[in-house]
Chain A
Amino acid sequence: MANGIWIIAEQRGGTLRKISFELVSEGRRLADQSGQPLAVVVIGQGIAEEAKKLASYGAETIYIADAQELANYTPEAYTGVLADLIKEKQPNIVLGGASQQGKELAARLAARLETGLAMDCVGLRLEGDLLIAKRPIYAGKVFAEVVCESARPQMATARPNVFPVLEPDAGRTAEVVTVSVAIKPEDLRTTLVEELADQSGKVDLTEATCIVSGGRGMKGAEHFIILEKMAGVIGASVGASRSAVDAGWRPHSDQVGQTGKVVNPNLYIACGISGAIQHLAGMGSSKVIVAVNKDPDAPIFQKADYGIVGDLFEVVPILEEEFKKIM
């Protein structure tokens, strides 16, 4: 019978990503509730030492798939390794990250295992052995509670920044198991030719804890510098509304909303954004929302915790100065 909770860890360049710690922490909570063992799978090359860090967050078993062909992520090679291992050990639950890599990998893996996958979850709980997954749909206009009763493992991916990371406990130890890896040639058809590093150095919007966003009220690409400056003071990433992106002021990768990125920072500062429904859907789960807008009737104020009615070109530089005083 299927037993155990498994985490698919995510590493890049030999370093575990934050989502891996979030996943192991949430896995630990579910394992404690249900008495099921918690295991984590780490795939890559030369990652054994890094992988062992996950013991102090509560992993009892750490499976390490280490091979030269696995140094760079590709969905097929990683899916093959995971599918073989899961078929052999038959865990009850498999959790991955709802990151760019994690969503793709989980989707292909679920299809290979012919099981159900709850994508991009913001809440996970157990009823006996059954995983109840809560996920936003329509970019958060509605939440769905979904289950997978008829197949195992039950799979889910967890949205980054949602599940809190446990305090590491150095007293915890894990059994480390080296997985024998047999990769089929057809799983190596795709190759990573090049990795172009993002020069901006800013945290991706989906993982940012603080976001400053600009909309139509920014009046032009050249004015985003004032948001960049304020963002620099508080360590925020800069986003944009669809109208700012469609106007060509910001790249598509900056767009927040139903047809852009769905974000959930601790602080979201919306500047010159009126609050179209498709934008509100993408940022409505932010913990604290601040709106700066000239129009006191702008819909954004209905969603904001704090609002300032005023010209953003006056307000933003003042906020920057005020933030500087306390940071």
Chain B
Amino acid sequence: MNIISCIKQIPDTETQIKIDSSGKGIQTADIKWVMNPYDEFGVEEALRIKEKKGGKVTVIGVGPQRVVESLRTALAMGADEAIHVDDPAAEGGDALATARVLAAALKAVPFDLIFCGQRAVDDDNAQVGAALAELLQIPLLSVITKVEISEDTSKVKVQRPVEGATWVFETPLPALITAQKGLNEPRYASLPGIMKAKKKPMAVKKLGDLGLSSDQVGEAGSKIKIRVLTPPPERQAGKMVEGETIQDKGAALVKLLREEAKII
């Protein structure tokens, strides 16, 4: 099977996010960049399917030079090839603009299955996978925690938890799956894996190579524009509930919740 896994690089989740002087972006000076955790589940699942069914795993990422690090991590985990779309004009796009870049880059790559993370934990958009499935005209299976490929590799059966239930869907391949936590435990790259990754092919693409113009993608090709970023409403540290004993504190808290906060 030919499996694609899409990767986005994001600021580590422990990062303090600060708004930059333009008011529309964040300060990037001290950020540690990592692979989006949901994309890691996608890479891991792609590798597990390859190990069972045979085939090839290709990882793809859009962004500046630093993205190579995350692509190499995926290669070190066991992916076979990487595609890096490295063109400033392709960056900063909304979901549809970014999906256009991915779709164009995948034109020449055969695939049976595509993985994306269910969302990137930076802009929390949860849209690129859906937009890519739409552009490729293939079925979309979102926020998936279990993937079973049929014996003859023609179909996939998945589990999708929703509020109060889990839906089991089946669809013919090719299809696009967005990965949710719980799908698997991603492996760490082994030392031999890291050594091997250095020699694995990494194709670098510019927009021109993909047959795209700069007004179709990136910020210029986006419909959604950020007007301004604001910090979240500041929460003041509240009251420490006091009392002689734990019993007193508990009673005082419940009283406050009822009478002051009026929440219970």
Contacts of A301 in B (CB 8 A): 237, 240
Q: A305–B165 contact, CB under 8 A?
A: no
Interface size on A, residues (CB 8 A): 98
Q: B130–A142 contact, CB under 8 A?
A: no
| Segment touching B, from A40-48, A61-69, A144-152 | A144-152
Q: A193–B257 contact, CB under 8 A?
A: no
Closest approach, in angstroms, between the C-beta of B148 and any C-beta of chain A?
11
Binary A-proximity of B36-55 (CB < 8 A = 1, otherwise 0)? 01100000000000000000
Q: A107–B249 contact, CB under 8 A?
A: no
Q: A307–B258 contact, CB under 8 A?
A: no
* A142/B19 contact (C-beta < 8 A), A100-B143, A306-B239 known: yes
Closest approach, in angstroms, between the C-beta of B133 and any C-beta of chain A?
7
CA distance A267 to B257 in the complex (A): 9
Q: B182–A319 contact, CB under 8 A?
A: no
Binary B-proximity of A174-203 (CB < 8 A = 1, otherwise 0)? 000000000000100111111111100001
Chain B interface size band reads 35 or more
Closest approach, in angstroms, between the C-beta of B247 and any C-beta of chain A?
6
Nearest CB in chain B to that of A278: its residue: B13
Select which of B17, B96, B145, B254 is within 8 A of A110 by beta carbon: B96
Q: A75–B130 contact, CB under 8 A?
A: yes
Task: Kindly identify, within residues 117 to 160 of chain B, every residue whose CB is under 8 Å from any CB belonging to chain A.
Answer: 121-127, 129-131, 133-135, 137, 139-143, 145, 157, 159-160
Closest approach, in angstroms, between the C-beta of A210 and any C-beta of chain B?
8
Binary A-proximity of B179-191 (CB < 8 A = 1, otherwise 0)? 0111000000000
Q: B263–A191 contact, CB under 8 A?
A: no
Contacts of B235 in A (CB 8 A): 284, 289, 302-303
Closest approach, in angstroms, between the C-beta of A311 and any C-beta of chain B?
8
Nearest CB in chain B to that of A262: its residue: B124
Q: A277–B226 contact, CB under 8 A?
A: no
Q: Is B210 an interface residue (CB 8 A)?
A: no
Binary B-proximity of A97-114 (CB < 8 A = 1, otherwise 0)? 001110110011011101
Closest approach, in angstroms, between the C-beta of A281 and any C-beta of chain B?
8
Q: B256–A306 contact, CB under 8 A?
A: yes
Q: Which of A132, A203, A326 has the most CB of B within 10 A?
A: A326
Q: A141–B232 contact, CB under 8 A?
A: yes
Contacts of A196 in B (CB 8 A): 159, 165-168
Q: A309–B232 contact, CB under 8 A?
A: no
* A107/B127 contact (C-beta < 8 A), A101-B162, A307-B239, A315-B246 known: yes
Select which of B14, B127, B231, B253 is within 8 A of A117 by beta carbon: B127
Nearest CB in chain A to that of B135: its residue: A111
Contacts of A287 in B (CB 8 A): 263
Q: A114–B254 contact, CB under 8 A?
A: no
Q: B168–A108 contact, CB under 8 A?
A: no
Q: Is B16 an interface residue (CB 8 A)?
A: yes
Q: B94–A116 contact, CB under 8 A?
A: yes
Q: Is B108 an interface residue (CB 8 A)?
A: no
Closest approach, in angstroms, between the C-beta of B157 and any C-beta of chain A?
7
Task: Kindly identify, within residues 234 to 264 of chain B, every residue whose CB is under 8 Å from any CB belonging to chain A.
Answer: 235, 237-241, 246-247, 249-251, 253-254, 256-258, 261, 263-264
CA distance A110 to B238 in the complex (A): 42
Task: Kindly identify, within residues 213 to 237 of chain B, every residue whose CB is under 8 Å from any CB belonging to chain A.
Answer: 222-232, 235, 237
Closest approach, in angstroms, between the C-beta of B21 and any C-beta of chain A?
15
* A322/B250 contact (C-beta < 8 A), A107-B131, A193-B168 known: yes
Q: Is B63 an interface residue (CB 8 A)?
A: no
Contacts of A296 in B (CB 8 A): 240
Q: Is A252 an interface residue (CB 8 A)?
A: yes
Q: Is B172 an interface residue (CB 8 A)?
A: yes
Q: Is B163 an interface residue (CB 8 A)?
A: yes
Q: B250–A319 contact, CB under 8 A?
A: yes
Contacts of B263 in A (CB 8 A): 266-267, 287-288
Q: B225–A146 contact, CB under 8 A?
A: yes
Contacts of B87 in A (CB 8 A): none
Interface residue ranges, B against A (CB under 8 Å): 11, 13-14, 16-17, 19, 26, 37-38, 94-96, 99, 121-127, 129-131, 133-135, 137, 139-143, 145, 157, 159-172, 175, 180-182, 222-232, 235, 237-241, 246-247, 249-251, 253-254, 256-258, 261, 263-264
- 8 closest residue pairs by CB, A with B: A116-B223, A107-B130, A318-B250, A252-B182, A305-B238, A111-B134, A116-B224, A204-B163
Interface residue ranges, A against B (CB under 8 Å): 17, 74-76, 79, 99-101, 103-104, 107-108, 110-112, 114-120, 132, 135-151, 186, 189-198, 203-204, 206-207, 234, 251-253, 255, 258-260, 262, 266-267, 276-278, 281, 284-285, 287-290, 296, 301-311, 314-315, 318-319, 321-323, 325-327
Known A101-B162, A110-B131, A116-B223; further 19 A-B contacts with Cβ < 8 A: A114-B223, A117-B95, A119-B124, A136-B232, A137-B124, A138-B123, A142-B232, A143-B232, A189-B172, A193-B168, A195-B165, A198-B164, A252-B180, A267-B263, A277-B14, A304-B237, A306-B241, A307-B240, A310-B246
